[in-house]
Structure 1
Amino acid sequence: MSILTMTDLGVAFATETGTVDAVRGVTLHVEPGETLALVGESGSGKSTVALAAMGLLSGNASARGSAVVDGHEVVGAPESSLRGLRGSTVSMVFQEPATALDPLTRIGAQIAEVIRNHRSVSAAEASAAAVDLLARVGIPSPETRAKAFPFQLSGGQRQRVVIAMAIANEPALLIADEPTTALDVTVQAEILELLRRLAADSGTGVLLVTHNMGVVADFADRVAVMLQGEIVETGGVEDVLLRPQHEYTKRLLAAVPRLDVAEGAPDGPVAAAVPDGPGVLGPGSVGDPDGRPGAAPVVDLRDVSVTFGRGTRAVHALQGVDIVVHAGETVGLVGESGSGKSTAARVALGLVRPTSGAVSLFGQDLRRARGRDRRALRSGIGVVLQDPVASLDARMSVGECIAEPLAVHRRGMSSADRRRRVDEVLDAVRLPTALASRAPRELSGGQRQRVSLARALVLEPRLLVADEPTSALDVSVQETVLEVLGDLQDDLGFACLFVSHDLAVVQHFAERVVVMRQGRVEEHGPTGSTLLHPTTDYTRRLLAAVPVPDPVLQRRRRTERLATLSAVDA
């Protein structure tokens, strides 16, 4: 019997302007030990389908049809019976573990609570089971970590804790909603391997909701493609990803940034476009300014170190880092979580003072700039963050959010001129000017990110710092945002420091790349040659962990990666 069977499922939401049909006629099934990937753009209805399987639809939603989980009908079931299903028969792993965990409760206590909600065990037994679960999901020193709070764990460890909570009562169905979006590639590979092993050991069926086609190729058995609330194509992972039939599926796959893998060819297309040699890279530095005569670099970090704390508790976030970014170029900053890439970006922004080393911004010493001079330097910087919801003030309209930097740095500018400038940047990021009067919550994720980009560019900055600007976006929206960003850079000539854990995006968007590890620059150079032909074992391992949207190739890459890791452990 299928673990999950949906038949003609429909979900409608009652809104102020009428009823919206979010899901229509969805029919699918998940077998024991099988992974079904549900893919599609934002707003396609895939998360609504997942929530319907849990009976977690909002109060203004109405469901019709059938959703049967392990023999239990969910649609129309009373809340009392649904509470018995959730956490025992069906569990969910959410995208952001930080919001799924109670920040004021220790890790072990949170897992123990899930156990005691569904099993008649003592507090001591639940605590011991929590430690066992932490060990099972690969948390080091589980007895110690069980006493820790969520903020004391890394992002990957928090996601493992969420998985431990989800499997605590051995559910028949596990729903994973974007479980690896916020993780770097090596942690993502570890989480996928963990989920794969858990499904194989216990026969748990998995419904995977994701926009990452590499993850689908690496993890799924079958794929269902959703468009505007309907399933338009279903099939085996190789059939759908390698031989798509529906035009929408073909467009979706065409938008996926693909990591070029060196297989016999000396250089890929990106490497051919970015020449090697001393004209681009000087000895001992990342991008020697001598490579561009007569032009001071926009950002110049020389031998920069940053230490947080003192004595035995000191954390060396950066150690002797050199990074140079010139006008009009994009430098990708990549590495695992905790490698120091975001700290380096904050040093360039003047938000973190280096412990030692020199920081130059637009040819001026940033550490010596004070008062008006420092504000003038900062007015030349734009910032785009990963989460546009958090970076836009919900109390302001879109136009007010974009105009805020003008109000701060150009106080003599009239309100009419500010409105004209807001309209100009909205047009530049390919959004209708009518959106200026709307609230950020009324926009889609891709529209909000383009509003963030417009806000960052409203002062015509010379430097744009983009910290994971596309990681939360689906592939087609990501393609649009990157295309807009590239066109604007061509038009305005600003430098871009692009921080990302998506190596495929960096490979196709950045001219040069800096690979960071444990606060140091591990490797650097032209993007094509560095990522196609890495010179260090660390960069090779980083690249080997990137899933590619080809199931056959990905299966071989995963086997090779696991064999390499086994050889290292041995």
Structure 2
Amino acid sequence: MTATEPILAVEDLGVHFSTESGDVHAVQGVSLSVAPGETLALVGESGSGKSTVALAAMGLLSPNATVTGSAVVDGHQVVGAGETALRALRGRTVSMVFQEPATALDPLTRVGAQIAEVIRNHRQVSAADAAARAVDLLRRVGIPAPEDRAKAFPFQLSGGQRQRVVIAMAIANEPALLIADEPTTALDVTVQAEILELLRALAADTGTGVLLVTHNMGVVADFADRVAVMLHGSIVETGGVEDVLLRPQHEYTERLLAAVPRLETAASAQDAAESATHRPDRRRLEVTEASPDRAPDGRPDTPPVVDLRDVSVTFGRGTRAVHALRGIDVQVHAGETVGLVGESGSGKSTAARVALGLVRPSAGSVRLFGSDLRRTRGRDRRALRSGIGVVLQDPVASLDPRMSVGECIAEPLAVHRRGTSSADRRRRVDEVLDAVRLPRALASRAPRELSGGQRQRVSLARALVLDPRLLVADEPTSALDVSVQEAVLEVLTELQGELGFACLFVSHDLAVVQQFAERVVVMRAGAVEEQGPTGSTLLHPTTDYTRRLLAAVPVPDPVVQRQRRADRLASLAAVTS
């Protein structure tokens, strides 16, 4: 292959799947290319065929897939190639970062050993050298204490840390082509920025081409050279990143960009206030003082639905003890959404699990619906839990693969004996499928047959099926494209208005939190860094940590994002100098 030839060349690619209900044409006539050192972003709604194109380029489609056309990687034809030839390519010439780390990591093998195995599969190195290289890779992707983390199992890491392990595995052999399917979905904004810098350096130093599959337009603006927009299995627009994001030609691209949540800053909020054409955010961003129904700190003057007071959580003992929470206070009131934000490992998900009664605090008190959760047992505890809906970060881990979608959604009804007949339960399943904008026909399908975004919406439907008083949402929109994310948040808003449930919203997407939450709690290293009304806290942060979080958020404007990245790197350089 010459330097002028693309590292990936896809020509007239077609993919259809044979299913019990007939053939499904997922990709039709797709042509694209990636040059050495170039990043092509493939964007579009969930189910548009983005991930199918990526899997076809790796030769990883399921046996019921029929592929036509051509996909050439570094001079090697993938379509029609045998498994032996494909195995030689994967991990060495082409690597992939999958959307869901739970599917890419062996739960029974330590993460360092998994990375070392990838290295030794393609390089003649000793076990000791591969293990040392694994530790170095963990350090490069920003995992703290990499020597210790290399000995950990995947379940002992946070969702963001697991995704960083997957990225370390993918870049272990410095491949010619890296296919990244939502590589930063599970990462907080500061680690996301660091990973993008790492991938950018990899492309520059080694000439690695990157096919980036993502729904995050901020990441596209920050990282991509070119953009291809997919709709219903076909490419409807392609061009340079500035042309597509700033001057879109197709009305579908315009709709996608209009749905992108945009982080407000103090300056942009002022500009918006002066602009008559500005589309207001769904939530009020300027709530900075007490109103008649709120206390001076922005909390409603009503008893909280969930009340964490001076809660600490410590895992392990002695020198191996991990202080996951350090005396935090968090309250959520009926009809209110409180956003928990912070870096991966800051304690956000642990705080949510304490509220659910899944983690017992080492100190402090937890009250749920006015009852002391630590003192509640048996039937009373079960009754309390029936008032909680949960959306977990990883939809694969929360849906039973042996059940149909409809059975997964209906399971809480059966567990808590809601609905007098199977017909009643089917009717309720149809209602919540409608609420999360999924066709009722999906009820008969298996979770594995759905896209990542569709599975996340099924998880949301399952959480809402009992009409909860409290919804605990751990990264509920992380797997959703921007238009579906907007629709789901609108649905949540409508249902919250109708049902009045409280929502504890755990997220690393500060733009979404800013639009969706009335109050925000910023966490760092297990402690509350600052909290208050969303407007005052995110528009006018009082701590350097919150300011750094906000500075790391990519915006969907390539020109503005280029300057934000330069400012951020200059600020980091000033701190370390």
Assess same fold via TM > 0.5: yes
Match of 2:223 in 1: 219
Q: CA deviation at 1:386?
A: 2.6
Aligned residue number for residue 479 of structure 1: 486
Q: 1:276 aligns with which of 281, 284, 288?
A: 288
* Greater CA drift, 500-509 or 101-110: 101-110
Residue 210 of structure 2 is aligned to residue 206 of structure 1: yes
- Other-structure match for 1:239: 243
For 1:144 and 1:317, locate their aligned partners in 2 and report how far apart those are by CA, in whole Å.
17
Q: What is the DSSP-based 3-state SS (H/G/I as helix, E as strand, rest coil) of the residue aligned with 2:266?
A: coil
Equivalent residues of 2:184, 2:192 under 8 A apart: yes
Residues 37/363 of structure 1: CA separation in 2 closer, same or farther (3 Å cut): same
Q: Of the candidates 228, 253, 265, which is equivalent to residue 257 of structure 2? A: 253
2:304 pairs with 1:304 = no
Shift of 1:225: 0.8
Alignment of 1:170-189 (within 5 A): 170-189=174-193
Distance in 2 (CA, whole Å) between partners of 1:363 and 1:128 is 52
**1:26 corresponds to:** 30
Fraction of identical pairs, as percent:
84
**Counterparts in 2 of 1:453-468, with a 5 A limit?**
453-468=460-475
8 A contact 2:46–2:454 mirrored in 1: no
Aligned residue pair count: 564
Contact preservation (8 Å) 2:135, 2:146: yes
- The residue correspondences of 1:35-434 to structure 2 (distance < 5 A) are 35-123=39-127, 126-127=130-131, 129-130=133-134, 133-134=137-138, 137=141, 149-151=153-155, 155-263=159-267, 265-266=269-270, 272=284, 274-279=286-291, 282=295, 288=299, 291-292=300-301, 295-410=302-417, 413-415=420-422, 417-431=424-438
Structure 2: how far apart are the matches of 1:351 and 1:121? 43
Confirm or deny: 8 A CA contact 1:287 1:323 kept in the other structure: no
The superposition leaves residues 520-558 of structure 1 with CA deviations (integer Å, 9 ceiling, x where unpaired) of 111111112211111110111111111111111111111
1:307 shift after superposition: 2.1
Distance 1:267 1:461, change over 3 A: farther
Give the residue type in structure 2 aligned to 1:85. L
1:77 and 1:421 map into 2 onto residues whose CA distance is 47
Which one-letter code corresponds to 1:65 in the other structure?
A: G
| Separation of aligned partners in 2, 1:444 and 1:168 | 27
2 CA distance for matches of 1:410 and 1:462? 17
529-538 vs 50-59, greater mean Cα deviation: 50-59
SS in 2 for 1:298: strand
C-alpha distance in 2 between matches for 1:497 and 1:448? 21
Q: Which residue of 2 aligns with 1:564?
A: 571
Give the C-alpha shift of residue 25 in structure 1.
Answer: 1.8
CA contact (8 A) 1:267 1:529 kept: no
Q: CA deviation at 1:238?
A: 0.6
Out of 492, 500, 510, the residue aligned to residue 499 of structure 2 is: 492
* Deviation per residue, 1:158-202 (Å, 9 max, x gap): 444433433333322221121111111111111111000111111
Shifted more, 16-25 versus 151-160: the winner is 151-160
Contact 2:137–2:172 (8 Å) recurs in 1: yes
Residue aligned with 2:492, SS: helix
Q: Secondary structure at the match of 2:553?
A: coil
Structure 1 residues 46 and 366: alpha-carbon distance in aligned structure 2, compared to 1, 3 A threshold:
same
Report the Cα offset of residue 206 of structure 1. Answer: 1.1
Deviation at 1:97? 3.6
Per-residue CA shift, 1:282-334, capped at 9, x if unaligned?
Answer: 57xx655xx42xx3221222222222222332222222211121111111111
Is the CA contact (8 Å cut-off) linking 2:8 and 2:35 kept in structure 1? Answer: yes
8 Å contact kept, 1:38–1:226: yes
Cα offset, 1:239, TM superposition: 0.5
With normalisation by structure 1, the TM-score equals: 0.90
Structure 1 pair 356–77 and aligned structure 2 pair: CA distance change class (3 A): closer
Q: 1:7 to 1:317 in 2, by over 3 A?
A: same
Q: Distance in 2 between matches of 1:239 and 1:353?
A: 52
Deviations 1:321-355 (A, max 9, x none): 11121111111111111111112112222222222
The structure 2 residue matched to 1:501, chosen from 491, 508, 512, is: 508
What corresponds to 1:521 in structure 2? 528
What is the CA–CA distance in structure 1 between the aligned matches of 2:108 and 2:447, rounded to whole Å?
Answer: 30
- Code of the aligned partner of 2:367: S
CA distance in 2, matches of 1:129, 1:432: 47
Q: Equivalents in 2 of 1:438, 1:129: separation in Å?
A: 42
Superposed CA offset, 1:16-67 (max 9, x none): 4444332222221111111111111222222222222223333232332222
Structure 1 residue 277: Cα displacement: 2.2
* 1: CA distance, partners of 2:444 / 2:89: 44
Instruction: Compute the displacement of 1:106 (Å).
Output: 4.4
| Rounded Cα–Cα distance in structure 2 between residues aligned with 1:429 and 1:164 | 35
- Give the CA deviation at 1:472: 1.1
Structure-2 change in CA distance of 1:378 and 1:287 (3 Å)? farther
**What is the one-letter code of the residue matched to 2:489?**
L
In structure 1, the partner of 2:561 is: 554
* Structure 2 letter corresponding to 1:221: D
- How far apart are residue 400 of structure 1 and its match? 3.8
Supply the distance in 2 between the matched residues of 1:432 and 1:71 (Cα, whole angstroms): 41
Tell me, yes or no, if the aligned pair for 2:102 and 2:396 is still in contact at 8 Å.
Answer: no
Tell me how far apart the structure 1 counterparts of residues 24 and 404 of structure 2 sit (CA, whole Å).
Answer: 24
Q: Aligned to 1:263, what secondary structure does the other structure show?
A: helix
User: Is the contact between residue 395 and residue 459 of structure 2 (CA under 8 Å) also seen in structure 1?
Assistant: yes
Deviations 1:99-141 (A, max 9, x none): 3233444445444433343344455554555555555555566
Letter aligned with residue 406 of structure 1: L
Cα RMSD (Å): 2.8
Q: Note the C-alpha offset of 1:377.
A: 2.0
Partners of 1:373 and 1:151 lie apart in 2 by 30
Contact 2:285/2:534 (CA < 8 Å) preserved in 1?
Answer: no
Q: CA deviation at 1:470?
A: 1.0
Cα 1:331–1:230 change in 2 (3 A) is: same
Q: Which structure is larger by alpha-carbon Rg, 1 or 2?
A: 1
